[in-house]
Amino acid sequence: MTRIANQNWPSNQAQFITEKDFAWLKEHGVNAVRIPVGYWILDGDGPLFSSIGKLDWAVKMAKKYGLKVLIDLHAAPGSQNGQDHSGVIGRLDWYKHKTNRQKTIEILVRLAERYNDDDTVWGIELLNEPQFFRGGREILKQFYQQAYDAISKVARPGLAVVFHDGFKPYRLSGAIKPNGDLPVYMDHHWYSFVMPELFSIKLPLYFYKLRMKLDIRLTKLLCRSQPIIIGEWSGVIPGPRADKMKKSERIKLVKQSISLQQKLYKDFGGWFYWNYKTESQDVWNFRSMVEGGYLKID
């Protein structure tokens, strides 16, 4: 099965995202893309094969259409969160073994070196959504600082170094102390499905808006330590209230949620909707949201 998948993957990969997608992004007002990559991007790892050629191509296309690129290390050796998008389900070996963290830094440095002469690459994100737990905070902070220091030795001045807050922005803000010419940004991901209680049948919908406004205002206070970007967000509406809504009511709520989020995010360093395109025409598909009139870019 792995052999067959490996044979089909290059053609599927080539067809799913093409130059037309970059042209569409430019045409619709997008100025930057966040590209997730796995630790195997450069050399492969067993059944996981390198796709650095595709990343090179994406950077080339972004340059052609005037877009910036944030390279996001989405999956680290051993898994940083035990979720499917980290490459391994149910394990947190990234935290357990120092060699995994060192290998992660080596990969980040190589990526910084590879695109050192191309300012199309706006920044590098050190790690996507690491799991935050007791005892792991200091390991994570130490890794972030060590990765920053290592990248600063090889990267061109101005390359942004981005670190994710582990969904605990108040506890990780200021994790990196800049000591060079590389600006630091903290990445916060906002998803309403992490608080489905706000959409319970018993709560008025305005509670959702109030809670979101409060959370965003509190997060903005952390900009005193470093600029913040919203690296992922979407129009997903969870909970029993949404499930029982009429289609017209649900569409209205999704539009209101997206509009509110855009207004609240405009004062941050930037935002990236997750995802640009999927197999389905739904709220996880930025392109379908734009073409369906749910989302507009000013």
Domain 2-291 CATH class label: alpha beta
Q: Tokens standing for 37?
A: 């990559």
Q: Three-class SS of residue 116?
A: coil
Neighbours of 239 (CB within 10 A): 18
Cis omega (within 30 of 0) on the bond before 128? no
Q: pTM here? A: 0.91
Nearest to 68 by CA among 9, 115, 13: 115
Could you give the CA distance from residue 108 to residue 178 in angstroms, rounded to a whole number? 17
- Domain extents for the chain? 2-291
Contact 110, 153 (CB under 8 A): no
Residues of the chain predicted below pLDDT 50: 1
